[in-house]
Amino acid sequence: MRLLDYMNDFDRRLVFPWMNTIGLRLTGYELYDVYNSTEKQMVVAKAMDENFQSDFIYPLDDGAVLKDTLQSISGYEFPIKLKGATKFAEILSKLTVPDPYKDGRMPINLATFKLLAESFNKPLAISVQGPFTLACEIIEVTDFIRAVIRKPDFVKQLLDFTTEVVSEYCQAVTKAGVRLLCISEPTAILLSPPKFEELVSVRLKRIFDALEPDAWRVLHVCGDTTKHMNQLLASGAEGLSLDQIVQLKEIAPKIPKDVVIIGNLDPVDVLADSTPAQTREKTLELLRYMKDYPNFLVSFGCDCLPDTPIENLKAAMETGRTKFTDF
């Protein structure tokens, strides 16, 4: 069953939350304490579910797991500053693809996802950094963007490596029970559409194609991706999570009806800096102008700020679940 088919089984909109660190406020836990504990991840997930009644179980994403694991096994301190031609071969020679079942915190995460998938009667959703963004964590981002032009062979080699890293981990998490897998590529917005397709789209498709058949494949790229829409679609994603900058009224008619449009309440102006009543009205406004799109999934334009008022988040989540008949 595809994500769209699952959504169409309901008589209302579904809501997908981007609330990565809110669970820390609800539980009082510290970030890395949760990263390193399956039990604390379960407590966080339960607190999030009880407070927001989301349509998905969205645990505290371990956004640093790939970078931290690679850093520990390579001996490098990331991000690396590029200094001279000899550095390129040296870097590549020390990077090895980690084993998700043995290395770093990956086994803890897999155990967590298995437990969460078995404990909740809702789809488990997580976000994983994409290969381009991971490369920009290994290499200092300005140096890496320069290398796209000056050292294209090195860039492609490094991206092939990070693609394999991301792919191995994504295959493991979907086997562990993750249903909705969102690959986040915030740094890739720095690329022109042709470069995005050359360096990012083809590698994302490779990752998505290798996933478990029943996994839901979603892509998120920060910023205004209006001019990159063909490249996003070329990735093979069945859902596109769109930043609040994107004008859904303009872009929605251009997205195929079998691709889920996910977004795009503003996490700052609407969720962080308004009242619950204003948040409710902005959510209703979004629902009204997307009412003719059965492939629309209510969400935020990006992860909400850590200090976002809880009542605003509740207002957005509750309003987002409005029944179709109410429109």
pLDDT in tens, 71-109: 999 888 899 988 765 577 788 888 999 999 999 999 999
Contact between 77 and 83 (Cβ < 8 Å) = no
- Lowest pLDDT segment from 79-88, 181-190, 205-214: 79-88
**pTM of structure:** 0.95
Select from 231, 137, 128 the least CA-distant residue to 172: 128
As a whole number of angstroms, the distance between CA 112 and CA 177 comes to: 10
Token pair of 201 as six digits:
């789209």
CB atoms within 10 A of CB 269: 13
What is the per-residue pLDDT for 85? 53
Residue 159 burial (C-beta neighbours within 10 Å; 0-12, 13-18, 19+): buried
What is the per-residue pLDDT for 325? 74
Write phi, then psi, for 147 (nearest 5 degrees). Answer: -65, -25
CB atoms within 10 A of CB 249: 9
| Mean pLDDT of the 63-77 span | 92
Enumerate the β-bridge partners of residue 219.
183, 240
- Lowest pLDDT segment from 84-88, 194-198, 226-230: 84-88
Select from 270, 229, 211, 200 the least CA-distant residue to 18: 270
Contact between 267 and 244 (Cβ < 8 Å) = yes
Residue 231 corresponds to which amino acid? Q
**pLDDT tens-digit profile of 242-298?**
999 999 989 999 999 999 999 999 999 999 999 999 999 999 999 999 999 999 999
CATH fold group of domain 3-264+294-305 = TIM Barrel (3.20.20)
What is the per-residue pLDDT for 326? 72
What is the per-residue pLDDT for 284? 95
